[in-house]
Amino acid sequence: EFRASQEQIINSILEGKNVVTILPTGGGKSICYQIPTLLKKGVCLLVSPLIALMNDQVNNLKEKGIK
């Protein structure tokens, strides 16, 4: 089950719309770009000041075998 607004954000991305999402820490932003990235071809560009969080997420994806 998605948290508030996640499904709308994901669907907008999958529809090819440009999306800017601002959610609080722990608000579930990661799934909003991870699901569309897995379902669509191309590159996902994520701008985030949280380098440590990004490194942690990349490592978790690699552990699951996701490029």
- pLDDT for residue 63: 94
- Spans of the chain below 50 pLDDT: none
User: At 20, phi and psi to the nearest 5?
Assistant: -115, 125
- pLDDT for residue 36: 93
Q: Helices marked H in 1-67 — which ranges?
A: 6-14, 29-39, 51-63
**Is residue 35 within 8 Å of residue 10, measured between CB atoms?**
yes
pTM over 0.75: no
